[in-house]
Amino acid sequence: MAEIQSPELTQGQIKALEKLLKAGFQFASLEHITRHLVIEKSGFVALLDPAEGKLRLFGQVGYRVGDGIGMLIEQRARPAFVWKKQAVVATPELLSAYARVKTELAAILEDSP
């Protein structure tokens, strides 16, 4: 099992994490993710990189699929969140929630010192 190292966080990063928690995001863990902070809201998962004194989104927001993060792709001409061989069809409601979570996360991260 990989050793997990806790990053040294700045006051600005801590404030950003507090804002995320107040907005309904929760800390999560994924066994195969050790370098980034994992947050989750309504099934949507994001990896945060606490580098250079800020929190930055690493990659893109995904959706919890099994014990991984499904990325939004077009599969058989339909959007789906896919992780390995597992998939969740991206319904209009799920896509709407996905857009809200991404917008909310971006606003909090951009507003943070």
Residue 1: per-residue pLDDT? 47
* pTM of the predicted model as reported, rounded to 2 decimal places: 0.88
- % of the chain surpassing 70 pLDDT: 93
For 18, which DSSP code?
Answer: H
Of 53, 24, 48, 50, nearest to 113 (Cα)? 53
Strand ranges (DSSP E) for 6-67?
26-28, 37-41, 44-51, 54-65
Residue 32: per-residue pLDDT? 86
Q: Calculate mean pLDDT across residues 87-95.
A: 96
- Which residue pairs from 42-45 have beta carbons closer than 8 angstroms and sit at least 24 positions apart in sequence? 42/97, 42/101, 44/97, 44/98, 44/101, 44/102, 45/69
Residue 7: per-residue pLDDT? 65
What are the structure tokens assigned to 3, written together? 């050793």
pLDDT at 23 over 60: yes
Q: Calculate mean pLDDT across residues 53-58.
A: 92
CA neighbours closer than 13 Å in the CB half-sphere of residue 91: 3
Could you state, in order of their start, the residue ranges of all structural domains in the chain? 11-111
